[in-house]
Chains A and B, each alone.
Chain A
Amino acid sequence: MTPNQLTIAEARKGLLNKQFSSRELVLACLDRIKKFNSRLNVFLEIWEQDALSLADQIDQALSKHEDPGPLAGIPLALKDVLLVQGKEITAASRLLKGHRAAYTATAVARLEKAGAVFLGRTNMDEFAMGSSTENSAFGPTKNPWDTERVPGGSSGGSAAAVAADLCLGALGSDTGGSIRQPAALSGVVGLKPTYGRVSRYGLMAMASSLDQIGPLAKTVKDASLLLSVIEGDDPLDSTSLALTETTVPELIPEDIKGMRIGIPKEYFIPGMDSEVETMVRQAIQKLEELGAEIREVSLPRTEYALATYYVIMPSEVSANLARYDGVRFGCRATSASSLPELYTQSRGAGFGNEARRRIMLGAYALSSGYYDAYYKKAQQVRTLIADDFRQAFRQVECLVTPTSPIPAFKLGERFADPLTMYLADIFTVSVNLAGLPAISVPGGFAEREGKKLPIGLQFIGKQWGESTILRAAHVYEQATEWKKARPILL
């Protein structure tokens, strides 16, 4: 086993016991990246020099028995939507090619302070819009389990990076499932925190009432460690909230005896993929064996969640993406001879199809004459969806559902029709609409054309309920063998 194949917890032990240095750990990752990045298209940019020089500094500190932090020397990857001062950042868009971040995101700064080493920025769907990473202006990322298939999206690069052992953990962002769905399709752990738990300062905004930054990792405890470093209110993000409780990996209980877990009946839809359904049913059985009390609950407005999301999210997107105009930064159309042309040509040429669709959809939903029927209506339904969860959490402590209705699909398969792609999000969007925390963990495998494809299991908690879902997810993970399987890269 090479050091890049370890979990963060194992690597920390290895570093502290001097089995290897941070430089060796980083080199092991860089080595693997060099071997596989052109095939998988995971990293848009690799920060080799910076990573090695920081690793050397950490090694020096460790040799002097200093404590450079809980993530000292650990190589991580960052989704290309998180600002790192001085580094190019594009949100996988042609419009921002060459654009440099003027400041560093709070979540990234907190990881830096904890001693983490960043390997580079990972591919994503352009401006976080998509469920497959096919909307990147720089080519799709391939799923390490089957390179003819997508890794999920929009944090597909980060998910694939962890799945392929190119790094030990990563950050992504989740607005409607963009951490959890790629985690499910790529066979890793992905967590979206309670809205407001992690500062959004320095996250390129997509939909401000839905976005959250979160970790992708190989184990639940690793994800918990990353969360504990990045979470907490921030004066630079007025929507970040003071934590009412927190947890660290060491404090996650090893049992779930008596935990009341709800199964929302609306998440078992007719025609759902049979292997996904089997996986969830087996997982429910396993949770019961582990001592949990399983109850059926109802979230009556589930069928309206996707429609609600696809009105609210594009509306906020149309406002947030108005700043990308080629005027002050980013790619400016050179053929424009007037200011209006500068805007329309820069934006028209710079944004990809999905971005343009959502900007237009949002503007329409907010426009005079349509605002009440679309945006206001969606906000009202959102209130009802959040209420559904409140009601359910009167009876149970967390919910368990599939993360994605289908395992990884083939590149190009869902690309032609936007609506088909949107349906990939049906089990994840409600969580963002209600501002709740949720985690996806490996739950098993489907088989397609002789290849094993990961299936994800999602735990949803109430507001600030991260410790409950981490506990349920960790105990389930420890009782199953799924995380032991790794994709074979040739």
Chain B
Amino acid sequence: MAILTQEEVEHIAELVRLKLTPEEKQRFAEQLSSILEYVAKLQDVDTSAVAAAAYILDTRTVSRQDEISGCSDASRAIILQDMPDREGDLLKVPAVFGEAPKDF
């Protein structure tokens, strides 16, 4: 497997919304590359006859009634108080359609 370049790290950082310093980009490129080199050993395993299993144990589809159960007053009060910035009951964030920064 190819070693990760800094550009690839930048791309991943953008996907996962992480702001990294130039030093961090270099350090993570090295560290992630060494981990990827290690996990490359999975390629040695013959899995041609194997189905991928996300859940190993009993799986069944669980459903519930499509009813609004609401939220307790206590929970609601905590959630509102926990908001980093708000106006009344409304959460405040920077404009969604504002100008994007040039340097990610």
Residues from chain B with Cβ under 8 Å of A356 in the complex = 18, 20, 24, 28
Q: Are A386 and B18 in contact (CB under 8 A)?
A: no
Give Cα A3 to B55, complex, Å. 43
Q: Are B50 and A384 in contact (CB under 8 A)?
A: yes
Give Cα A419 to B74, complex, Å. 44
Q: When each residue 345-358 of chain A gets 1 if its CB lies under 8 Å from chain B and 0 otherwise, what string results?
A: 10111010000110
Q: Are B52 and A383 in contact (CB under 8 A)?
A: yes
Counting from the closest, the 10 A-B pairs by CB-CB distance are A348-B19, A379-B52, A380-B47, A332-B84, A344-B19, A238-B62, A343-B17, A383-B53, A307-B39, A380-B50
Given the known interface contacts A102-B78, A386-B56, A418-B31, the answer about A351 and B15 at a Cβ–Cβ threshold of 8 Å is no
In the complex, which residues 434-457 of chain A have their Cβ closer than 8 Å to any Cβ of chain B?
434-435
B98 to chain A, nearest CB (A): 5
In the complex, which residues 1-43 of chain B have their Cβ closer than 8 Å to any Cβ of chain A?
1, 4, 8-9, 12-13, 15-20, 24, 28, 31-32, 34-36, 38-43
Instruction: Say yes or no: is A101 at the interface (Cβ < 8 Å to chain B).
Output: yes
Residues from chain A with Cβ under 8 Å of B104 in the complex = 340, 344
User: Can you identify 28 A-B contacts, CB atoms within 8 angstroms?
Assistant: A102-B79, A194-B57, A238-B62, A301-B45, A307-B39, A307-B42, A310-B35, A310-B39, A325-B17, A328-B83, A337-B94, A338-B100, A341-B101, A343-B17, A348-B18, A348-B20, A356-B18, A356-B20, A356-B28, A357-B32, A360-B16, A363-B16, A381-B50, A382-B52, A382-B56, A384-B47, A419-B38, A463-B57
Q: Are A101 and B53 in contact (CB under 8 A)?
A: no
Instruction: Say yes or no: is A140 at the interface (Cβ < 8 Å to chain B).
Output: no
Q: Are B42 and A318 in contact (CB under 8 A)?
A: no
> B residues touching A (Cβ–Cβ < 8 Å)?
1, 4, 8-9, 12-13, 15-20, 24, 28, 31-32, 34-36, 38-45, 47, 50-58, 62, 64, 74-75, 78-79, 81-85, 91, 93-96, 98-101, 104
Q: Are B58 and A196 in contact (CB under 8 A)?
A: yes
Residues from chain A with Cβ under 8 Å of B101 in the complex = 337-338, 340-341
Which chain A residue lies CB-closest to B64? A235
For A241, give its contact among B57, B84, B98, B99 (CB under 8 Å). Answer: B57
Residues from chain B with Cβ under 8 Å of A99 in the complex = 82
Q: A102-B82, A345-B19, A381-B47 are in contact. List 14 more A-B contacts (CB 8 A).
A: A99-B82, A209-B56, A241-B57, A318-B16, A328-B83, A339-B94, A348-B18, A359-B18, A360-B32, A380-B51, A382-B52, A383-B51, A383-B53, A435-B55
Residues from chain B with Cβ under 8 Å of A329 in the complex = 79, 82-84
Which residue of A194, A308, A338 has the most chain B CB atoms within 10 A of its CB atom?
Answer: A338
Q: Are A344 and B50 in contact (CB under 8 A)?
A: no
Residues from chain B with Cβ under 8 Å of A238 in the complex = 62
Instruction: Say yes or no: is A361 at the interface (Cβ < 8 Å to chain B).
Output: yes
Residues from chain B with Cβ under 8 Å of A322 in the complex = 16
In the complex, which residues 308-341 of chain A have their Cβ closer than 8 Å to any Cβ of chain B?
308, 310-311, 318, 322, 325-332, 336-341
Q: Are A386 and B53 in contact (CB under 8 A)?
A: yes
Q: Are B58 and A241 in contact (CB under 8 A)?
A: yes
Given the known interface contacts A329-B84, A347-B17, A379-B52, the answer about A85 and B75 at a Cβ–Cβ threshold of 8 Å is yes
Q: Are A196 and B91 in contact (CB under 8 A)?
A: no
Main secondary structure of the interface of B (DSSP, over half): loop
Residues from chain B with Cβ under 8 Å of A434 in the complex = 56
Give Cα A339 to B97, complex, Å. 8
For B91, give its contact among A86, A307, A327, A419 (CB under 8 Å). Answer: A327
Give Cα A318 to B17, complex, Å. 11
B21 to chain A, nearest CB (A): 9
For A342, give its contact among B4, B43, B93 (CB under 8 Å). Answer: B93
A196 to chain B, nearest CB (A): 6
B77 to chain A, nearest CB (A): 9
Instruction: Say yes or no: is A378 at the interface (Cβ < 8 Å to chain B).
Output: yes
Which chain B residue lies CB-closest to A103? B75
A454 to chain B, nearest CB (A): 28
Q: Are B84 and A331 in contact (CB under 8 A)?
A: yes
Residues from chain B with Cβ under 8 Å of A382 in the complex = 52-53, 56
Q: Are A360 and B78 in contact (CB under 8 A)?
A: no
Residues from chain A with Cβ under 8 Å of B51 in the complex = 380, 383
Q: Are A383 and B28 in contact (CB under 8 A)?
A: no
